[in-house]
Amino acid sequence: MQWIQDPSRNNVDNLNNVRRDISRHLRNKKKAYTKTKIKELETNSKIKNIKDLYRGINDLRMVTSLEIL
């Protein structure tokens, strides 16, 4: 945590790299979750499981709306 207290250019670059890595990691996790959820919704629509289909669509909307906040 010492590098956070010292605002030298090298430390700022390190902090920016960490932020970028975390953002990339979270973006990839969200993309994987969304792909899985869409496949699940496709399966539910094919087997006429309407209740689970609408529940899944609602869950997917909630995830994307949280991103906006």
The answer for residues whose C-beta is within 8 angstroms of residue 57's C-beta and 6 or more apart is: 41
Per-residue pLDDT of the chain (69 residues; tens, 9 = 90+): 555 555 677 777 888 889 999 999 999 998 888 888 888 888 877 777 777 778 888 887 877 666 554
Token pair for 11: 């430390």
Distance, CA of 39 to CA of 45 (rounded, Å): 10
Segments making up each domain of the chain, as ranges: 33-69
- Number of residues written out for the chain: 69
